[in-house]
Structure 1
Amino acid sequence: MKAIINGRIITASQVLENKVLVFDEQIGEIVAADAFKPGEDFEIIDAAGHYVSPGFIDIHIHGCGGYDTMDEDPTALGKIAALLPQVGVTSFLPTTMTMHLPRIQSALQRIRAAKKAKGNGAVILGAHLEGPYLSPQYKGAQDSAFIKTPDFFDIEDYLDVIRIVTLAPEGADKHDFIQRCRAAQITVSIGHSNANYEQALAAFAAGAEHVTHTFNAMPPLNHRQPGIIGAALDTPAVTCELIVDDVHVHPCLQRMLLKLKGPDHVILISDAMRACLLANGHYDLGGQDVIVSDGEARLASGVIAGSVTTLRSAARLLEKNTQLSLPELIRTVSLTPARRIGVAGSKGSLEIGKDADITIFSSDFTIQATFVAGKSVYRS
């Protein structure tokens, strides 16, 4: 057994002082410090006054450290997983790009294999399929040559792997595809889309319940044409991804989204590409050249191409930009994403019986230690 002492434990609703977190592979108990009587077999971890939180969950990340989900290198996903604990992430959804369909299916096969493997880092919970079912008008950094109409046949061999599908619901009727995804317990997300308000509402009514990197790769909110953003704000159950690097979304809109949707319906994502954790330079994303400079990743055309941020950095910046309490803030990187992809029964909060996915960080969000299923996978 292990026990974390001298930590400030962040639950879903409060910060606990003078408590001890006891765990093995799962959370055992949270007890008063003066009542804690460790046995001889206990490993004691001194948090030294730092915060102890549930591990961060990134449901939209393409890569980091020079590796990408679409890499045909079978070791790439394991290397991404090994790097993520240093930024507090204990589980994630490797996210695909719009490329030739067999290439996407090959990536899903690798994700399936990596999901089953017992690695020494963050846990792969499945895949986020971002494309190829997108709008050419709002393709962003996706390759329009491979954009296509949704076809359930494309993905029916990978229902055990896919957790989220991003699509543009406008044009030909996509509602049958949405409904079949929902029947397979796959979250359908609107993104890279030119949908108007009515089309977005119809997609939500059909079973879509999520928005991919809200505000980005979609029409702006307009007082006469509310679009996807207006429909998401008008539909309480819909969750909204948010990239917080102050490049993708202005702090004013970050605050507005949190005020209107709340921390139980906003999910921080990194949308990170392979240059994350690396220096400025030339990289690629989905087969397209990307220039990374001063914290921004862009195609030669100037289009933003994912990000180089991390959930650690996003959480630190969101604390600066908003008035969220720490438990509210941490929910946006833990319990809310866990609920969205159906794993809140085992992940997302420090509750008895849940997986001991734990992140210890300082007041400036520097990661001190990370545990996955009770195993130490990172120490600063």
Structure 2
Amino acid sequence: MSKLTAYLVADLFDGATRRRDVAVLVDGDTIRGVVEPGGLPEGVATIELATGLLAPGFIDLQVNGGGGALLNSAATLDGIRAICTAHARYGTTALLPTLITDTPEVTTAAITAVRDAIAAGVPGCLGIHIEGPHLSVARKGAHNPGYIRPMDEADFQRLVSTGIDHVITTVAAETVPPEQIARLTAAGVTVAIGHSDAPYEMAMAAFNAGARGVTHLFNAMSQLGHRSPGVVGAALDSPDAWCGIIPDGLHVHPAAIANALRAKRAPGRIYIVTDAMSTIGTTMTEFELNGRVIQRAGGKLTLDDGTLAGSDLDMIGAVRFMTGTVGIGLEETLRMASLYPAQFLGIDRTHGRIAPGARADFVHLSDALDVEGVYIGGERQHFAPLG
């Protein structure tokens, strides 16, 4: 039997506009409506949120790890549960556990673990993002070049037969040609271009073949030159290409983020990702990735040679950076953290909004943008103290 609850909200951002003094009516795991408090059904249970702001829960489409677990080395149900729990603390109500370039065996194990997590109802586990191994060695970043390779038919079949509704794969435009991109998208896989040294024309051909956008704009891709616009230029120029971006002040300069937001052609949007590693929600100072030690210091994760290896960023930290440092308005920043990633993935009817028919996934923020409460499927999440 469903449970009807009304959240009495002093300040609501529903994904489109701000509204004052309304009631969000939740039936089980679904929002029934947003009404005036006087229009509530008789006897409905109420929860009062008299201060702060209620907003759609954050959606992070690139999460390598959290809570001490890294998908590459903890491709298990428990590993995914640890990742989702760690990020929920910071307002993330849906995410894609992300596998960095690895062996076919590890890739298969990660797919199985995500499928099991979804079947088990792990709160926040939405699907999987498989980043690599079909990348450019020239733009490998922290990916192990020994595992990077072209896509063969076995790789293709693995991607299209996951049994998971929401699958993103990041590929290089020069490694995976338009014909393969078209086959992947026709089979329901969302393709993003990343870790790619492709010229502008090749990137545009990938978008025309069905690639939906780029993974972490500016990072590990050919840059915007005045004669060679590269992947960055193609992503900003294409009206259909969506762009994830990592706003931690280390991966992309605040001025570059601001310039990208001004340059991006509509209707494409730029959305926030964390590219977070296992350190989120822990006091870890180092961890291993494919046998290599990653150091954590000063909010930065690096290999021994100084190469950035993912981020130490959570979503509420990204929201604060966008508003406080880049200078983007709070409502647009919240769209970048929820509505736009939902639109990119094609799930904006049920995610990224507080509206009738959407999932009851939302985050309660203080005026200082601290996370006061997190609700996934209508259930308030509870977290152990950090230690």
Provide the TM-score with structure 2 as the length reference: 0.92
> How far did 1:75 drift?
1.0
The match for 1:113 is 116
Going from structure 1 to structure 2, the CA distance change for 1:31 and 1:74 (only over 3 Å counts) comes to closer
Question: Does 2:183 correspond to 1:187?
Answer: no
Ranges in structure 2 where 5+ consecutive residues have no aligned partner: none
Query: Matches of 1:29 and 1:141 in 2, distance apart?
Result: 45
The match for 2:61 is 59
> How far did 1:209 drift?
1.8
Alignment of 1:253-268 (within 5 A): 253-261=256-264, 265-268=269-272
The one-letter code sitting in structure 1 at the alignment partner of 2:157 is: E
The match for 2:343 is 339
> How far did 1:39 drift?
3.4
Query: Matches of 1:170 and 1:78 in 2, distance apart?
Result: 35
- 1:237-291 deviation digits (Å, cap 9, x = unpaired): 1000100000000000111111222796111001000012223512123432100
The match for 2:324 is 320
Query: Matches of 2:118 and 2:249 in 1, distance apart?
Result: 32
> How far did 1:364 drift?
2.2
Q: Is contact 1:274-1:285 (8 Å) kept?
A: no
Query: Matches of 1:145 and 1:322 in 2, distance apart?
Result: 37
The match for 1:276 is 280
The match for 1:49 is 51
The one-letter code sitting in structure 2 at the alignment partner of 1:328 is: E
Query: Matches of 1:152 and 1:368 in 2, distance apart?
Result: 48
- The alignment's C-alpha RMSD in Å is 1.8
State how many pairs are aligned.
375
> How far did 1:337 drift?
0.7
The one-letter code sitting in structure 2 at the alignment partner of 1:163 is: V
The match for 1:140 is 141
Residue among 209, 212, 215 paired with 1:209? 212
The match for 1:356 is 360
- 1:179-228 deviation digits (Å, cap 9, x = unpaired): 11110221111101111111111111111121001110112221111100
Question: Does 2:16 correspond to 1:2?
Answer: no
- 1:36-73 deviation digits (Å, cap 9, x = unpaired): 4453341x222232110111110000011101112144
> How far did 1:345 drift?
1.9
Query: Matches of 1:362 and 1:263 in 2, distance apart?
Result: 31
Ranges in structure 1 where 5+ consecutive residues have no aligned partner: none
The match for 2:36 is 32
Query: Matches of 2:181 and 2:271 in 1, distance apart?
Result: 21
The match for 1:285 is 289
Question: Does 2:170 correspond to 1:166?
Answer: yes
Q: Is contact 1:54-1:358 (8 Å) kept?
A: yes
> How far did 1:140 drift?
0.6
The one-letter code sitting in structure 2 at the alignment partner of 1:176 is: E
Query: Matches of 2:333 and 2:33 in 1, distance apart?
Result: 23
> How far did 1:152 drift?
4.3
> How far did 1:6 drift?
3.6
The match for 2:101 is 98
The match for 1:11 is 14
Question: Does 2:205 correspond to 1:221?
Answer: no
Stretch of structure 1 that moved more, 356-365 or 244-253: 356-365
The SS at the match of 1:95 is: strand
Q: Is contact 1:276-1:307 (8 Å) kept?
A: no
Q: Is contact 2:172-2:194 (8 Å) kept?
A: yes
Q: Is contact 1:11-1:327 (8 Å) kept?
A: no
- 1:110-138 deviation digits (Å, cap 9, x = unpaired): 1111111123x32x111101010011111
Provide the TM-score with structure 1 as the length reference: 0.94
Residue among 74, 82, 85 paired with 2:85? 82
Query: Matches of 1:317 and 1:368 in 2, distance apart?
Result: 18
Query: Matches of 2:290 and 2:131 in 1, distance apart?
Result: 11
The SS at the match of 1:45 is: strand
